[in-house]
Structure 1
Amino acid sequence: MLSRALVRVGATLLLGLMAATANAAGVTTCQGRFPNPITDICWSCIMPISLGGGTLASIGGQEDIRNPASPICSCGVNPTVGLSIGFWEPARHVEVVRRSFCLVSLGGVDLNPGIAAPDAGRYTDGTGDQNSFYQAHFYVNPVLYWLQVVADFPCLERASFDLAYLTEVDPLWNDDELTLILNPEAALFANPVALAACAADCVAATAGFARSELFWCAGCQGSLYPLDGHNIYHLGGVRTAELLMQRLTAKMHRELLAWGSHGAAGLCGPYFLPVMDKAAYKTQLTFPIPSTGKILGRCCQPFGRTTVLWGAGKEYPVKGEDFAFILFRKRNCCVGY
């Protein structure tokens, strides 16, 4: 009897040790991969390329927003006359991660400098709904420029790959009340009527582009507010990552770290745009499974589009629960001669 009891105790301790080890491994795991520009990026998303209001090139019926109607433009105090060109520039990269300071897009590098920051987690509130929290990182990634795909094209952002923003060092990212400093208008839309309007934004984003007038909505992903890492309705990792990617981009605009570059105002250079225009971005998943397969002829999705079609099968346990996206922003430019 004593030997059996000792065996049971030993087995219990062993199982407990194995569970603790597994939990620790889950917390400390930092997986990733630098996006391969050949296989992981859907280059057709750059299109359509436009001249004025007309289309010069497009593959697979790529979606576009309105361009300046006139093909002729001018910039500067002493006007330089040029051509009005429009395209979608792959210029930013966003990753949504479980472990703080885990740089997925740099191959899974642990950058933790010893600063206390909350890791991601999923939890159930008093109503039974599953909530979640993730950290996120914002990169400057002008792929076309640093690959030298097009030489001497003045419309490309001239920068190198750079880690621009870490939410782990931002106290607003983990506090719904503190983040009201950036978006006090969120209090106006925390009601059932404003949230119900997001259904119309979801329909618009799924059919084309989200409605800029509904700036408090993130399309089918729910509410864009608050601009932090908390999600009160966790319905899958891909959907939540898409939501937080939109929030972080909106946060960059609100902090004037991201500017507008589209429309007639963008022909002569970037301009302040503190309220993000959702229709000016298309996105493509690059990790854990690059979303290069075409859905209805396209592999990039506008902000707010449902993840039901393109997000299926893109998440898997342990190594496939962090996500990275490349952002294609709309760029209108006056190419002078």
Structure 2
Amino acid sequence: MNSLPRISCVILCHNYGRYLDQAVTSCLEQEPGRYILHEVIVIDDGSTDETEEVCRRRKGDIKVIRRSRQGFGRTLTDAALLSSGDWVAPLDADDWFHPAKLRTCAEAMASAREALFIEHWENVVDSLGHPKLKEPHPGGNTSTLLVHREAALSLLPVSNEIFFHALREAGRGLVLQDPVTFYRVHPRSMTDRSTPGVSQDYRAEVCFALADRLRAMRGNPPPWANGRRLGRISRHFRALASRHGVESSLQRGEQLSALFLIPGMLKDTIWARDPLAPWVRSLSSVIMGRPQVQLTTGQGESAHS
């Protein structure tokens, strides 16, 4: 029980070879702390750029899993399946960790031993690594998470890191305001933040899928939540899906479509026993006909939206 947590850093890479070396280095050059860097794994998901060459240069430092293209969801699922540490720290290959990332998170683990999920804030940068936002930004995306591997396995397969947020909603998560990841926003990012509605539609789809998964798990609940709690968390993600749907509709200028989602969002919010403030903000946005989320940078979005 007193042994140090073993952390597996797993880098997810598809054609991000130009950034990969920095990502690998950021994992290997972490400050010492109350943890063990168990392994650094690169999952090369069918890259056709210089990724293979970068991996070959760093082969003494990392374990490489190279395979044909299977997509982000499968790669994130494999990050949990193929690692062997107590905790998994996923990292998109175009991002990189602050040197204090693992030390900071390990200190949080030691102070809250029931935690199965940790997320932290991020520094948003551009393609060259220069600051894109003046202040740190709430996290929740892949590179800002650590998840206990056994808990992660109970949620597999996943299509997005949002699946792991269920652990936070079950009361088994920590949210740190330390910005210990550099999150890169660039034209070739996987997430399209410039086309109205696209990012929000994707998030809504993921949240609906997660809600359905949690509902199905009620008959045989995992150790971290009972059936009743899973039902409430399922409703939370249905409400969140509706909120993303409202944003998507407003970004596309479809105010009436957004209005139709408001009653269902309210019902799910009440069943989940969530605060009403997000619903009120969505209602206000519909009345005013203005989306809350700014396009291109994603500023205004967070894991708690």
- TM-score category, normalised to shorter length: under 0.3
TM-score by length of 2: 0.26
Structure with bigger strand share is 1
RCO higher in 1 or 2 (8 Å CA, sep ≥ 6)? Answer: 1
Name which one, 1 or 2, has greater alpha-carbon Rg.
Answer: 1
The structure that is helix-richer by fraction is 2
TM-score normalised over the length of structure 1: 0.25
